[in-house]
Amino acid sequence: MPAQVESFFHAPTNTWTHIVVDPTTQTAAIIDPVLDFDPASGRIWTESAQRLVAYVLAHGLGVEWILETHAHADHLTAADWLKGVLPAAKLGIGAGIVAVQNHFRDVFGLGIDFEADGSQFDHLFADDERFRLGALSVRVIATPGHTSDGVSYLIDDAVFVGDTLFAPDGGTGRCDFPGADAGTQYRSIQKVYALPDCTRVFLCHDYPATGVEPTAQTTIGAEKLSNVQLNASTSEADYVAFRTRRDATLAAPRLLYPSLQVNIGAGRLPAPNSRGQVFLRLPLYLDV
């Protein structure tokens, strides 16, 4: 039986979280979970993550993995909270997270106390690494470009692409973050496009127009035929030129600094002070 996928949309950050299930063993993985966060008030809560746990419990699932496609720059991950509720689950991310940690340790001034070696995660996946989810085969495909740590997870006939691809009318992920590169992303997408056209593609984000339902799933064939930014006939030179022009017009993500500060540490919040207060850092760039 094919992998079963249940998708959950987090409207404040336009993020999709997916629960992937092997129907023969009821073994599951949670991909790209979201922690609720209001930057104006500093409030953090777990309503979205609790929806995932409720689904797991209602269906009697055994969660073996929490999988991150990359260190997200637009939402805080709920991975650490979920590990506390689902202690059998291991947390995995691509091995490229080490480079991301090294860069942002300096950006946030975290110092040598922050270990930039990926040890906050249970496993760092190499390109083309294989593992099992129950009876299902999982293949890790390194897909850097949007970030240097991006990976996609091919589980049975479904691929979970993170921010590498959006729905065909949404195009592809931006390539202007530290360590990002449009040419690298083009080549990563070619690896994904080499999968069979019938492969189900599960997205990490969708940004629908008002009144339009968000899209969680498409196919490789649909992407190759009609992705508005990179279809099967788009050349690397044309894509790089387009992506470079487009990215120069984009504002920084609203939750860039809170997200990365938490996500490079596997979702762990900073240690509280003696009064139980928790603080995030905001780097300032003075232009005076």
CATH of the domain at 191: 3.60.15.10
Q: Report yes or no on 277 lying in a domain.
A: no
Domain interval for residue 150: 4-263
Q: Report yes or no on 177 lying in a domain.
A: yes
Q: Report yes or no on 140 lying in a domain.
A: yes
**What global pTM score does this model have?**
0.97
Q: Report yes or no on 268 lying in a domain.
A: no
Per-residue pLDDT tens digits for 24-48: 999 999 999 999 999 999 999 999 9
Per-residue pLDDT tens digits for 45-65: 999 999 999 999 999 999 999
Residue 287 confidence class, pLDDT cut points 50, 70, 90? confident
Q: Report yes or no on 49 lying in a domain.
A: yes
Count of domains for the chain: 1
Dump strand ranges (E) for the chain: 4-10, 15-22, 27-31, 34-38, 43-45, 62-67, 76-77, 90-94, 123-125, 130-133, 136-142, 151-155, 158-160, 200-202, 217-219
Q: Report yes or no on 279 lying in a domain.
A: no
- Give Cα separations from 106 to 116, 202, 233 (angstroms): 10, 33, 40
Q: Report yes or no on 274 lying in a domain.
A: no
Q: Report yes or no on 31 lying in a domain.
A: yes
What residues are paired with 22 via a beta bridge?
27
Per-residue pLDDT tens digits for 120-155: 999 999 999 999 999 999 999 999 999 999 999 999
